[in-house]
Chain A
Amino acid sequence: MGSGERKKSDEMRYTSSGIPLKEFYRPDDNGNIDYDKERGDPGHYPFARGIFPAGYRKFVWQNSMISGYGLPEEANQRQKYLREKGASGYGGQDSINFAFDNPCQNGYDCDHPLSKYEVGTGGIFINSIDDAEKLFDGFSLDRLNVGLIIDTPGPIILAIYVALADKLSVSRSKLRGIVCNSPWRRYYTGTALTFPPKHALRVAADCITWAAREVPNFNTYSVNGYDIREGGATAAQEMAFAIAPTIEVIEACQAMGATVDDVVPRFNFFLGFHNDFFEEIAKIRAGRKIWASLINERFKASNTKSSWMKIHLQTSGCTLTAQEPLNNISRVAIQALGAVMSGVQSMSTDSYDEAICLPTEEAVRVALKTQKIIEHESGLTNVADPLGGSYFTEYLTSEMEKRIREYLTKIEEMGGYLTALENGFIEQEVAASALKYQNEIEERKRIIVGVNEYVEEENVSVSPFEYNPKVRDVASKRLRELRDNRDSKKVDKILARLKQTAEGDGSLMPLYIEAAKAGATMGEMMQVLKDVFGVYQPQNILAS
């Protein structure tokens, strides 16, 4: 198949999510835009052009390279390697971003029978304060920005982190980072076990409101569009399905006595950047504006920081191909370039071998250096929102805003995000988009280089990452030793109090911390919550 079959130029063109496109754009395509009201300078409401007036001059985005595998000490080595290669956070702090393995995401310790296949294979695990101590060895917690990418057990993981800080005499107010802590993300694609909605919301809001008082510089809610996007959502769906659930989360925090300004400045967005360059930039510019207006108009925030859509962005894992893996370096570079032109605060670039295995050291170094090349060699850190004012960018930003708002209105009319989840709307929409995308590839309406066009006869593969096969055995042995050496009566008493509190309506966070200090494990605490709250059954909805 060659270029001879290329499409005719008079054919209608669309963005990746289906927005029709003209051949070029002119000033009158944006005739109605009131600059001050609908865009604003960078650093000014409604923040379409970015949240900081100086763009990247003061703070370059943080290199938050996602990683995690194996035993805590192995994951620790990978993070030290990244630090050595230049990964850094705001103000020269260290920056770590940990993915968690499936057992941990589901609330099971390493030695649970259901953990059998996946301990340390797709992320790290933290079962106990001892694991946390090994994981963060060599990093000063008061100079660290840590990402804990975990949802339902997230509050317990944060509690273990705080317990470790207490043990090391690090002031809680110096702790920085994020725990994802979404009660919703795990109801759709990328699912893990969670509680029924009402209880899931309570557990998350308890963590957010407690942290606002106790660890005030730690972010405790990730407004997550990335996972649902990777599951198949379009750009507009990604942004809408990220923003919509925060309404219920904020209201739950308010019901616990917090104000919007107490909690929302500690929310952080987690978004993806896919292949359609301008559509992704438009998504981010439109999203910032919609967020600012939602927080201001609906929730009447008075702290400007509440209106900031702070963004951690990851390039798109699902756009990477197993065919000719080195081609992925180009894909990631283009996506990362677009992310920087959108004005994000933090970024994780994917490694070229991720459609094959966990990243090798070499692949992750190339991914990190891609960010460094953009930072130092492209000149893009000098001027904020460099595409602002482009006829096309502004047009697409308005179009994207319209589409995101349409979804938000639809969800609102259904009765809110929870209803839209429970009646299957969200999952159905994502399944339909995923199917459409796949059909376009099958029908060659969408060309993926090396997959359905320019295909190589022989696949040029790479040397894959190798797992340490002993992880589960070693981890289980450590758990046995922990359980043998702790004061079991004390642990049982605290877990009984945790159960009582869960049955009532008190704060759970202090009890997780107390339990962690006494040597209770994440899995044991999660089991208490599962016994009290029950477990939500995933829906398995297919496209119709």
Chain B
Amino acid sequence: MKRKKRILLAKIGLDGHDRGIKILAKKMSDAGIEVVYLGLFQTVESVVSTAVQEDVDCVGISILDGGQTLIAADLMGELKARGLDNMTVFFGGIIPERERPLLQEMGVKEVFGPGTPIEKIIDAVREG
């Protein structure tokens, strides 16, 4: 039997806006995805260590306050350093469309903006 998809969800940095990511955690888990919810105030190191320990298939990072490109650079670098080059990474939140190609170039698989149907995100996790 195919094992369930596992995702780690977290906010990196000091941004305390967690309405969206909490809803995602709940909806994904209802949809049969195993969710490791780390919540607020995580660092790149805490996210990557947990990703290793929990053997997740993908990582989802939620951002509201403008740290996306710096966070992506550090996160992708740390994943690479720990040999997780193939980890699927999703970003979501208040991220201008113009910055999305740059994030994808850095290795973020997909960026979900406000108003994205949750089903679409769940499908992406199942495929990722």
The answer on A and B forming one complex is yes
Q: How far is the CA of A442 from the CA of B122 in the complex (A)?
A: 13
B66 and A438 form a contact (CB under 8 A): no
Q: How far is the CA of A117 from the CA of B72 in the complex (A)?
A: 10
A231 and B19 form a contact (CB under 8 A): yes
A402 beta carbon closer than 8 Å to chain B: no
CB proximity to B under 8 Å, residues A154-204: 186, 189-193
Q: How far is the CA of A373 from the CA of B80 in the complex (A)?
A: 54
Interface string of A199-230 (1 = CB under 8 A from B): 00000000000000000000000000000001
Q: How far is the CB of A405 from chain B (nearest CB, A)?
A: 26
Also in contact, A321 and B64, with CB within 8 A (given A118-B13, A540-B39): no
A67 beta carbon closer than 8 Å to chain B: no
Which among B15, B26, B70, B114 has the greatest number of chain A C-beta atoms within 10 A?
B15
CB neighbours (8 Å) of B98 from chain A are: 464
B14 and A115 form a contact (CB under 8 A): yes
**Contact among B67, B70, B117 with A442 in the assembled complex (CB-CB below 8 Å):** B117
A474 beta carbon closer than 8 Å to chain B: no
- Give the interface size bracket for B toward A: 20 to 34
Work out how many contacts link A and B, with CB atoms closer than 8 A: 112
A438 and B114 form a contact (CB under 8 A): no
Which among A114, A230, A540 has the greatest number of chain B C-beta atoms within 10 A?
A540
Q: Which residues of A come within 8 Å of B, CB atoms?
A: 101-103, 105-106, 108, 114-118, 121-122, 186, 189-193, 230-232, 318, 321-323, 355-358, 431, 434-435, 438, 442, 448, 450-452, 459, 461, 464, 467, 538, 540-543
CB neighbours (8 Å) of A114 from chain B are: 13-14, 43
Q: How far is the CB of A79 from chain B (nearest CB, A)?
A: 20
**Contact among B14, B23, B97 with A459 in the assembled complex (CB-CB below 8 Å):** B97
Ordered by A's residue number, 23 sampled pairs between the chains whose C-beta atoms are within 8 Å are A101-B65, A102-B14, A102-B15, A102-B16, A114-B13, A118-B65, A189-B16, A190-B16, A191-B18, A231-B19, A232-B19, A322-B94, A356-B97, A431-B26, A438-B23, A438-B118, A442-B117, A448-B115, A459-B97, A538-B40, A538-B41, A542-B22, A543-B22
CB neighbours (8 Å) of B66 from chain A are: 118, 121-122, 357-358, 467
B113 beta carbon closer than 8 Å to chain A: yes
CB proximity to A under 8 Å, residues B18-70: 18-19, 22-23, 25-27, 37, 39-41, 43, 64-67, 70
Q: How far is the CB of B83 from chain A (nearest CB, A)?
A: 24
**Contact among B18, B25, B71, B115 with A117 in the assembled complex (CB-CB below 8 Å):** B71
**Contact among A108, A318, A321, A357 with B14 in the assembled complex (CB-CB below 8 Å):** A108
**Contact among B12, B26, B39, B113 with A538 in the assembled complex (CB-CB below 8 Å):** B39
Q: How far is the CB of A237 from chain B (nearest CB, A)?
A: 14
The 4 closest A-B pairs by CB, nearest first: A117-B67, A121-B66, A122-B65, A540-B39
CB neighbours (8 Å) of B65 from chain A are: 101-102, 118, 121-122
Q: How far is the CA of A357 from the CA of B97 in the complex (A)?
A: 10
B123 beta carbon closer than 8 Å to chain A: no
**Contact among B26, B94, B96, B118 with A542 in the assembled complex (CB-CB below 8 Å):** B26
Q: Which residues of B come within 8 Å of A, CB atoms?
A: 12-19, 22-23, 25-27, 37, 39-41, 43, 64-67, 70-71, 94, 96-98, 113-115, 117-119
CB neighbours (8 Å) of A321 from chain B are: 114-115
**Contact among B13, B17, B39, B115 with A322 in the assembled complex (CB-CB below 8 Å):** B115
**Chain B, residue nearest A104 (CB):** B14
CB neighbours (8 Å) of B117 from chain A are: 442, 452
- Beyond the given A122-B15, A435-B26, A543-B26, please list 15 additional residue pairs across the A-B interface where CB-CB is below 8 A: A105-B16, A115-B14, A118-B13, A118-B14, A118-B15, A189-B17, A322-B113, A358-B66, A434-B23, A438-B23, A450-B115, A464-B98, A540-B39, A542-B22, A542-B26
**Chain A, residue nearest B114 (CB):** A322
CB neighbours (8 Å) of A357 from chain B are: 66, 94, 96
A103 and B39 form a contact (CB under 8 A): no
Q: How far is the CB of A9 from chain B (nearest CB, A)?
A: 28
Which among A108, A538, A542 has the greatest number of chain B C-beta atoms within 10 A?
A542
CB neighbours (8 Å) of B40 from chain A are: 191, 538, 540
Q: How far is the CB of A92 from chain B (nearest CB, A)?
A: 34
A106 and B25 form a contact (CB under 8 A): no
Q: How far is the CA of A470 from the CA of B27 in the complex (A)?
A: 39
**Chain A, residue nearest B67 (CB):** A117
CB neighbours (8 Å) of B64 from chain A are: 122
**Chain B, residue nearest A467 (CB):** B66
Q: How far is the CA of A186 from the CA of B94 in the complex (A)?
A: 21
CB neighbours (8 Å) of A118 from chain B are: 13-15, 65-67
